[in-house]
Structure 1
Amino acid sequence: MTENNDQTVGMTEAELARHSEKMAKKKQAREKIMATKTDEKGLVIVHTGKGKGKSTAGFGMIFRHIAHRKPCAVVQFIKGAWQTGERDLIEAHFSDLCQFYTLGEGFTWETQDRARDVAMAQTAWEKAKELIRDERNSMVLLDEINIALRYDYIDVNDVIDFLRTEKPYMTHVVLTGRNAKEELIEIADLATEMELLKHPFRSGIKAQQGVEY
């Protein structure tokens, strides 16, 4: 038997009446607030933190765009060595709606070649700027760019200046990766920090298909 979570179960008629009145007031207050939210704009969105889900959240919004038939694009700055499910699905079925560029070669400790990492990150950033400037793209996901910024492969001031001065007004830009620069968070419209509570890796469990990639 499933548990009944209805808070009204067992209430008296008087309690039900008070509950209904309370909910009606909440609804009215909520509708009043929502009525003032009429503007639309392209958002700068940052997903950061040590917890899982940063790229996953970014791809969730990309798939929402695809579902609404809105053109979008992805640039992966680090995970070039990984064959991910998101990349396979998009390239196989939605390449008409979503451009996908994997321009990294793995994490910096894998390549062990800073000059090469810098060159690849700079190439990825140039492609990102091209895609963002194209107003046909409603959203551009810059996956793991925060890692490239953390290691100074790309100048954060260049990124901030570009987003402030060249990003089309209605284009959404999503930037993922841990250790987001404070300057980037400062200009973001939406910034979320994923907090790590538990991770299977610490129990000896490796990255698994369908979960991590």
Structure 2
Amino acid sequence: MTDKNEMHQKRQQRLKEAVDERISKANEQRGILIVNTGNGKGKTTAAFGTLTRALGHNKKGGVVQFIKGLWENGEKNLLEPLGVEFHVMATGFTWETQDKASDTLACQEVWRKAKQMLANSQLDLVILDEITYMITYGYLDLEELLIALKNRPNHQTVIITGRACHRDIIELADTVTEMRPIKHAFDAGIKAQKGIDW
């Protein structure tokens, strides 16, 4: 038993030394660009988890939701009264609207709000929820988005969510997570649930 304990202790000590070395080399402090992409569920949920953590540390945040419709929004219900600025495109899913011209106008309108947030030094964290679709569908110019991201205040962190994130955004990002679906309740015929899925 003593040998096993000693081996475990040595392994953990090597792990500690490796982690400590990485921590000592990480000395740059600035806002980062985070991308949550992929076909799996949880991209927006992860972004809001980070925002909630930031609020717990007295940080200020803002949210722009592309794609989302006029239905009740649990995250907005909770976070807006806490001072989080929200702007929602409010047109709903593009496969339902099927009107590129009006969707483009709606995108451009909410994008103006997003640009203001990305230039606002009072905001520590900005979520651009489902913005990847705006690039994919051509509602928003990729270069304009990249410029706004590059020129934001140095301390500001931005989280981008959505499937099929453009490679130029991924290249610019500091942290990229790809969510991969393994199982989804909806595929088994279970309805999306208030408070769980939306």
TM score, norm. by length of structure 1: 0.89
Rounded Cα–Cα distance in structure 1 between residues aligned with 2:179 and 2:57: 27
Deviation at 1:18, TM superposition (A): 2.2
Pairing 1:35-54 to 2, within 5 Å after superposition: 35-54=24-43
Rounded Cα–Cα distance in structure 2 between residues aligned with 1:26 and 1:144: 37
Task: Structure 1 unaligned segments of length 5 or more: list them.
Answer: 1-11
Within the candidate set 188, 192, 196, 2:173 is matched to 188
One-letter amino acid of the structure 2 residue matched with residue 56 of structure 1: T
Check if 1:212 corresponds to 2:190: no
What CA deviation, in whole Å up to 9, does each residue of 1:158-184 have, x standing for no partner? 1112212x2111111111111111111
Provide the residue aligned with 1:154 in structure 2: 140
Deviation at 1:29, TM superposition (A): 2.3
Check if 1:116 corresponds to 2:102: yes
Deviation at 1:99, TM superposition (A): 0.7
Q: Find the structure with the greater CA-based Rg.
A: 1
One-letter amino acid of the structure 2 residue matched with residue 44 of structure 1: L
Structure 1 runs, 4 residues or longer, greater than 2 Å off = none
Rounded Cα–Cα distance in structure 2 between residues aligned with 1:27 and 1:203: 43
Within the candidate set 147, 151, 161, 1:176 is matched to 161
Provide the residue aligned with 1:94 in structure 2: 82
Is residue 118–residue 148 contact of structure 2 (8 Å, CA) maintained in 1?
A: no
Is residue 139–residue 171 contact of structure 1 (8 Å, CA) maintained in 2?
A: yes
TM score, norm. by length of structure 2: 0.95
Rounded Cα–Cα distance in structure 1 between residues aligned with 2:192 and 2:100: 25
Deviation at 1:81, TM superposition (A): 2.4
One-letter amino acid of the structure 1 residue matched with residue 167 of structure 2: E
Is residue 104–residue 124 contact of structure 1 (8 Å, CA) maintained in 2?
A: no
Rounded Cα–Cα distance in structure 2 between residues aligned with 1:34 and 1:181: 30
Is residue 104–residue 121 contact of structure 1 (8 Å, CA) maintained in 2?
A: no
Rounded Cα–Cα distance in structure 1 between residues aligned with 2:35 and 2:17: 32
Rounded Cα–Cα distance in structure 2 between residues aligned with 1:102 and 1:80: 7
One-letter amino acid of the structure 2 residue matched with residue 33 of structure 1: R
Within the candidate set 52, 59, 63, 2:48 is matched to 59
Rounded Cα–Cα distance in structure 1 between residues aligned with 2:149 and 2:68: 23
Rounded Cα–Cα distance in structure 2 between residues aligned with 1:62 and 1:201: 26
Instruction: Report the 3-state secondary structure (helix = DSSP H, G, I; strand = E; otherwise coil) of the residue aligned with 1:135.
Output: coil
One-letter amino acid of the structure 2 residue matched with residue 193 of structure 1: E
Provide the residue aligned with 1:144 in structure 2: 130
CA RMSD of aligned residues (A): 1.2
- Number of equivalent positions: 198
Is residue 75–residue 141 contact of structure 1 (8 Å, CA) maintained in 2?
A: yes
Residue identity (%)? 39
One-letter amino acid of the structure 2 residue matched with residue 126 of structure 1: R
Q: Which moved more, 1:75-84 or 1:58-67?
A: 75-84
Provide the residue aligned with 2:12 in structure 1: 23
Task: Structure 2 unaligned segments of length 5 or more: list them.
Answer: none
One-letter amino acid of the structure 2 residue matched with residue 188 of structure 1: A
Q: Which moved more, 1:143-152 or 1:12-21?
A: 12-21
